[in-house]
A and B are shown apart, each in its own frame.
Chain A
Amino acid sequence: MSALIKGETGEWEIVIGMEIHAQVTAQSKLFSGSAADFGAEQNTQVSFVDAAMPGMLPVLNKVCVEQAVKTGLGLNAVINKTSIFARKNYFYADLPQGYQISQFEDPIVGLGKIEIDLPDGTTKDIGITRLHLEQDAGKSIHDQHPTKSFVDLNRSGCALMEIVSEPDIRGPEEAAAYINKIRMILRYLETCDGNMDEGSMRADVNISVRHPGDELGTRAEIKNVNSVKAIGQAIDFEVARQIELIEGGGDVVQETRLWDPVKMETRSMRSKEEAHDYRYFPDPDLLPLVLEDGLIEKIKATLPELPDEKKHRFMKDYGLSLYDSSVLIAEKSRAEYFENVINDNDPKLSANWVINELLGILNKESKALEDSPISAEQLGGLIALITDDTISGKIAKEVFAEMYTSGKDAAVIVDEKGLKQVTDTGAIDAIIDKVIEANPDNVEKYKGGKDKLFGFFVGQVMKETGGKANPKIVNDLLKKKLS
């Protein structure tokens, strides 16, 4: 669903590539033993190495390497058995070494691809260019003192995976779908918690425009887009800016631009003269990273079922729609919950209850599935009562509401409240007779052709039974009596 934009000189195609920085889930930093927890008191997770004291040396954390390999496998990518750490040199107050240890020419993960799910119910493949490991910088704090800035080095040296996409993304929806899918994969793999609020996942967006079929246009790199919403807004602004610029006879400059979420605009960060020359070179403190034989296979064996595999399995095995499957696999725990609900129940009915009822109310109350008062087994129990005609779908919604507040099992509630469906045709017969007797006018009208009144009779019968009568039996009997 390429979103083409109409301009004065014809239609424009948006071309986007993304660089996602994902903090590796690990006990300690990429090259030091310091803790890597979020939210610790400032400068309490800083070793001599992280502070770049004289003579300190980096030692690679093996766990981070394994996490990167795992992520690479999850992105269906080539794992490079030899990769090289390089120094990216620049000065900044929150960069203690004066260089960031990253990977440049030889990253640990090469070409891969993932499938994204679009709002119109289609999917699309997006190419992954590479994934490399690198150190995070510290954090500069500028608003605490009139003339001084402060630096918090807790984050300095934490392991990041930079995941670079091919320029395959064609608009804000695809960009959102891409980042959501990457986040989902990382969370399935437990290699990054994907928390954008805490900065453990951040994105830079490379944007250019072209007339369809033309060569790629010159791109601008947009930084500081820290939510899926901001990514959409930044793309909209930047695309409009570039089209206006080109159609006005100007040229897009290849540059880094900063997204300003207050003014809702992108701004040039530095001029060409100020552009950094990072002077990359292989870090002489570190040997080339050579993956041991068998490590990749070992990690492959620990991979969970990935979101897209799960999605396709749900569609194939359970006959679910792409949309329902996509919703259910969005979180690993959600998919697990759903599969526990099914048990012997009908998958489609189960999907409806999970998506529409349970996720509906949880969303409304801003609760996570983990906090649901109704367990998967309990919801499965409720659906089983519908399936075996113990209760009607309508009564089930009442029982569900009661379950949600009390946490009781469906069967207990049905018992306590006497909600068991009436399937005794004799009893229903008697009630129908009573209703017909009480409404001679409507019987007359119905028989005179006013078919719509059938619903009225059903309603009256249900009212008399407190909603417990089996609707199908009521329908059948009523039709007979009124004919």
Chain B
Amino acid sequence: MSLIHATDIKKHYRVGEIDVPALKGVDFEIDTSAFVAIVGPSGSGKSTLLNLIGCLDHPSSGTLLVNEVEVSKLSRADAADFRGEHLGFVFQDFNLVPVLTAYENVEYPLLMVRGWSADKRHERVMKILDAVGMKEQAHKRPDQLSGGQKQRVAVARALVGEPKLVLADEPTANLDHDTAYRILNLMKKMRDDFGTTFVFSTHDPKIMSEAEVTFILEDGKLSRQGENA
């Protein structure tokens, strides 16, 4: 069963007087619980595609269904609600809130977006921090954590609300090779444990091999490369 269904998605940006196409008619489907990599060189449109799936941006044309909702038609506030309810994000630079501890960063979506009670929040946050191996570091602020630890916290924050889909834009780009593999394995384990669909972008061919499904994005066109066992 497909979680994401995209038909003829086009996206172009206006730069001065010129229309610059970023996506030139993209069709694809991604199944629930898939572990998907979108691969392509810098500037190929990977981030644009993830932004469209994550309702952070609207396509210029085409239809994009995420969890059976036509996300390209959502208003700003509805898109925020949809993201808060169904999506999780992991960023290349971790993007943790610097004034909050690891615990509070993970708690943030439950407190500010979902409005969960304190007890329910605590139970869930500790569970997810334990799952990503950060329970002992819960009280530390981002500036007291290593890059790998920050990304673990970011993964925990993305997963804490039990989203259907986690979008990770170059999640390993700022990590060393070993840490990058550990993060990918963590994401895969989370997928196995929680059934969450993971879509991540990368331009690193070694990382790409960790994905079960790989899409190649080149010159605004998307092609499915195949499946790894």
Q: Indicate, yes or no, whether A interacts with B.
A: no
A residues lining the B interface (CB < 8 Å): none
